[in-house]
Amino acid sequence: AQSVSQHNHHVILSEAASLELGCNYSYGGTVNLFWYVQYPGQHLQLLLKYFSGDPLVKGIKGFEAEFIKSKFSFNLRKPSVQWSDTAEYFCAVKETGRRALTFGSGTRLQVQP
């Protein structure tokens, strides 16, 4: 079965630090890839998505992610985090031919002022 791994469970950074959150998946076929963010007490919001084409995708709020097919990875990056980026970040994968999203366990990001 498909699995999605987010190895960083809790990340603490100071403002202006650079961020990279890891995401690896196990499916060998074609996939659609997503990053969602969940601010405290709020719903999941789409940060960015990859379907095909340029493996470097840019999302909202200065986030970007790079799809590396050979590594089955879709890491999320931001060059300079802000306190308002404090949230939980979920990587999600959809296999071709399936409708359901498989989510990683999430990474809780805490940005200290």
Partner 1 sequence: DAGVIQSPRHEVTEMGQEVTLRCKPISGHNSLFWYRQTMMRGLELLIYFNNNVPIDDSGMPEDRFSAKMPNASFSTLKIQPSEPRDSAVYFCASSRRTFLPGRPNEETQYFGPGTRLLVL
Considering beta carbons, is residue 42 or 110 the nearer one to partner 1? 42
Angle at 89 between CA 83 and CA 94, to 5 degrees: 155
Beta carbon nearer to partner 1, 3 or 80: 3
| HEC-encoded secondary structure of 32-92 | EEEEEEECCCCCEEEEEEECCCCCEEECHHHCEEEEEHHHCEEEEEECCCCHHHCEEEEEE
Residue whose CB is less far from partner 1, 37 or 81: 37
Residues at the site binding partner 1, with contacts judged by CB under 8 A: 30, 32, 34, 36, 42-46, 49, 51-52, 90, 94, 96-97, 99-101, 103-106
Give me the least distance between CB of 7 and partner 1, in Å please: 14
The vertex-26 CA angle with 29 and 81, nearest 5°, equals 110
Residue 113: CB minimum distance to partner 1, A: 27
Nearest distance from C-beta of residue 18 to partner 1, angstroms:
26
Q: What is the smallest separation between the CB atom of 35 and partner 1, expressed in angstroms?
A: 12
Which is closer to partner 1, CB of 105 or CB of 112?
A: 105
In the block, residue with structure tokens 């095909």: 52
Q: Which two tokens stand for residue 24?
A: 């690896």
